[in-house]
Structure 1
Amino acid sequence: MFLPGISVHDLLLAFLVVTIGAFGNGLAGFGLALLIGPFLLLIDPAFYPGPIVLLVGLMTAMILFRERNAINRTYVKQSIPGFVIGTGLAALLVAHLPHRETAILFGGLIFLGVALSMLGIRITPNRKILFAAGTMGGFMGTLSGVCVPPLAIALQNSPGPELRGTLSAVGLISVAMSLIALASVGKLGLLQLQLALALAPAAVLGYVLSFKLSPYFDKRCTRPAVFLLSSISAAAMLMEYL
């Protein structure tokens, strides 16, 4: 046993999963939890949710540093108030919300946004759109841990570096709030930290491997990646409650 309750085989498999997931996240700017969460949960429940959130935090911080000069600070400022309001409202109402109906609503709205975008309807990231995307993201993040897709859809036409940097700036706030919440309920302890540290090199490796392909990816794949990862998040939310 390499870590308490985790075999070397499982750790190596998890290392591979995180490397691949971090590579995809490094290209698209988000989606690490969506890409690795289900697989790590199947490998061993100990990987969920604390270690995954810590790895997302590491990945988000690395992308934020790499794309720091491309961050659209106006977009961040305009989406954060909505994010805070959405998170606060969900926290206040979570005990009284019909989770199934709420998940169907948000999942459906994401699919609608993807469908409208694919039909050629241009979404302009103005103040109202960004505030609404932030509010929806904050609400969704509190209910399901998935907060970035609404903002990613709003920013789908942004250049790759700007998209990654802006999403990371907002996403880091979500990670910080999630870590505080997990620690407050005793779900973030020594084992979770050890698992995250053991898999951190995999996140760094996947992130570094994405460097070379980023320029090619940005030319033709940014919008499809946003649509794909956003659709996966919506489908996962619907499957959890249907």
Structure 2
Amino acid sequence: MAVFIGAIVQGGVGFGLGLVGAPVLTMLEPSVMPGAIQIVNMTLPLFTLAAEWRKVDWRGLGFAVMGRLPGSVIGAYIVVYISVHTLGVFVGAMVLVAVALTARSLTVPRTPRTLTGAGFISGITGTATGIGGPPMALIYQNAKGPQIRATLAMFFFLSAAQSLAILAWVDRLPSAALTTGAILLAPMIAGFLVSAPLRRYLDGGKVRTAILIVAAASALMLITQSLTA
């Protein structure tokens, strides 16, 4: 159910699957995380790209992916050696600050530096916790809905593949994670298929508000998960 709802949110906004799915999976079966959610994170973007791939911001994507690679390595290091819970509280707080500032009409410029930085932070949090969408979404919050969804979809596909490879490299990708991720593809597909009305609604000028709401909710969930785990 969590993956189904998360797929509806991501199908409409461009991110959000990790927001709903990662905390629930972590509470129910922490041994399969973050690998299981990364299987789903890598598959769902393909459905978005099948419909909106022409809207990808390739230049911005390049800088973001360049920043994500070192971030993913740090995220894997955290999974092995450092408390993920401490990271979750810190990142969640930073996302809430960013949401508060941007909600007050502060514009985050979409530059090579900010894109690389967002990719770097996303790499750390995505690899360590399965929630890597908010930093990139905040950078693209003023873009049009199709460009946001297409660019984030390509970024998440490449990011999840990268994270899975690194998790396997540090021996944190058990077979149970792969099996669980494969099972969760069914509710993920169902969620995406019913997200079409949400996309049409948000594309009527409501995407930015939706991004800020989902990013804030993601941060709160991450903090709560980190403090209660």
Give the structure-2-normalised TM-score: 0.83
Q: Which residue identity is paired with 2:55? A: A
SS of the aligned residue for 1:122 comes to coil
Equivalences for residues 11-90 of structure 1 within 5 A: 16-40=1-25, 48-90=33-75
What's the counterpart of residue 176 of structure 1?
161
Q: How far 1:183 moved relative to its partner?
A: 4.0
Deviation by residue 1:38-90 (Cα, 9 ceiling, x = unmatched): 34556666875444322222212211222201101011012121112323345
1:117 equivalent in alignment to 2:120: no
1:166 equivalent in alignment to 2:166: no
Tell me how far apart the structure 2 counterparts of residues 102 and 36 of structure 1 sit (CA, whole Å). Answer: 18
Tell me how far apart the structure 2 counterparts of residues 101 and 44 of structure 1 sit (CA, whole Å). Answer: 20
Q: Which residue identity is paired with 1:161? A: P
CA RMSD of aligned residues (A): 2.9
Change (3 A) 1:106 1:21: closer
User: Do the aligned residues in 2 keep the contact of 1:26 with 1:207 (CA within 8 Å)?
Assistant: yes
Change (3 A) 1:155 1:180: same
Return 5+ residue gaps in structure 2 as ranges.
Answer: none
User: Do the aligned residues in 2 keep the contact of 1:17 with 1:39 (CA within 8 Å)?
Assistant: yes
Change (3 A) 1:94 1:205: closer
Q: How far 1:174 moved relative to its partner?
A: 2.0
Kindly tell me the number of residue pairs found equivalent between the two proteins: 226
1:205 equivalent in alignment to 2:190: yes
Tell me how far apart the structure 2 counterparts of residues 212 and 161 of structure 1 sit (CA, whole Å). Answer: 14
Find 2:129's aligned residue among 124, 129, 144: 144
Q: How far 1:116 moved relative to its partner?
A: 1.0
1:214 equivalent in alignment to 2:202: no
SS of the aligned residue for 1:224 comes to helix
Q: How far 1:230 moved relative to its partner?
A: 1.6
User: Do the aligned residues in 1 keep the contact of 2:35 with 2:177 (CA within 8 Å)?
Assistant: yes
Q: Which residue identity is paired with 1:209? A: V
SS of the aligned residue for 1:120 comes to coil
User: Do the aligned residues in 2 keep the contact of 1:179 with 1:188 (CA within 8 Å)?
Assistant: no
Q: Which residue identity is paired with 1:144? A: T
Q: Which residue identity is paired with 1:137? A: S
- My pick for the range that moved more, 132-141 or 115-124, is 132-141
Give the structure-1-normalised TM-score: 0.79
What's the counterpart of residue 11 of structure 1?
none
